[in-house]
Structure 1
């Protein structure tokens, strides 16, 4: 069926109500195998990350931007590996969190958003602090299921093997 201009004029032209949020959690691992976690003023520990901008930003580009904005660390989009998509529902909003990973040889993260994060800390996988921010716990559990991280349930679609490139 072909659409004519009169057919489209009857359609709702207002943007839809928000019903989904798209974000990325970045597992940053150093050359000693530690992961980077930030202490949020709300009391949880979290991975760098945040919402994907509603532009033509890719998931890898969002990971690079969020890492730079939150920690001052610079990596290239080509070094970011998107490995999973996680879906849950919070407050009636579909939340889709993309899991991404990047390895840095050595780095000194800075607190660049002191109103949100009080400190960044490199943490061994055998000593992960708690409580973890729920989306960060979900991303870490998808990245390393062997860690037995307690997290809220989420649907998970693995995009790449978490061990590849880690």
Structure 2
């Protein structure tokens, strides 16, 4: 989140998928906490290091197999970069009421929880804080 309350989203263009807008994210590696994984992914995908994410909820897909942790972190001031251009491009800051569409489903779940809205259909959310 930047000081104006906007969120960072990238245009996800992963091969074999429809293009969507997505928060930085990825998988938890062995030995990592969810917060460590969120910080690592922000650095790897967008070049934003030094974040200290806080998990706010865990979302589980009820119509498939997947689990996503929604985490928030203040922006440390580093300009985002497209470090994985084959997966994510066009990083930008978006106000919560002006989000681009379509959103990548795990990002849609995270953003609705962050905004205090009910989760999208097909998700069950477990608040952490």
- Secondary structure (helix, strand or coil) at the match of 1:128 reads coil
Higher relative contact order (CA 8 A, sep 6+): 2
Structure 1: how far apart are the matches of 2:121 and 2:26? 18
**Residue in 2 that maps onto 1:18:** none
Using the size of structure 2 for normalisation, the TM-score is 0.88
Query: What is the Cα-based RMSD across aligned positions, in Å?
Result: 1.7
Residue 40 in structure 1 maps to residue 15 in structure 2: no
Q: Which has the higher helix share?
A: 1
Higher CA-based Rg: 1
Q: Is the 8 A contact 1:134 1:152 kept in 2?
A: no
Q: Is the 8 A contact 2:20 2:103 kept in 1?
A: yes
- Structure 1's consecutive aligned runs of 4 or more residues displaced over 6 angstroms after TM superposition are none
Give the superposition deviation at 1:139. Answer: 0.7
- Secondary structure (helix, strand or coil) at the match of 2:26 reads strand
Structure 1: how far apart are the matches of 2:45 and 2:76? 19
Structure 1: how far apart are the matches of 2:89 and 2:67? 26
Is there any run of 5+ residues in structure 2 with no aligned partner, and where?
A: none
Structure 2: how far apart are the matches of 1:126 and 1:95? 26
Aligned counterpart in structure 2 of residue 121 of structure 1, from 79, 92, 105: 92
Structure 2: how far apart are the matches of 1:89 and 1:52? 21
Give the number of aligned pairs. 125
| Cα displacement string for residues 127-150 of structure 1 (whole angstroms, at most 9, x for unaligned residues) | 10100001100011111124x78x
**Kindly tell me: are residues 127 and 143 of structure 1, through their superposed partners in 2, closer, same or farther at Cα, counting changes over 3 Å?**
same
Structure 2: how far apart are the matches of 1:40 and 1:102? 21
Aligned counterpart in structure 1 of residue 35 of structure 2, from 48, 54, 60: 60
Structure 1: how far apart are the matches of 2:124 and 2:45? 27
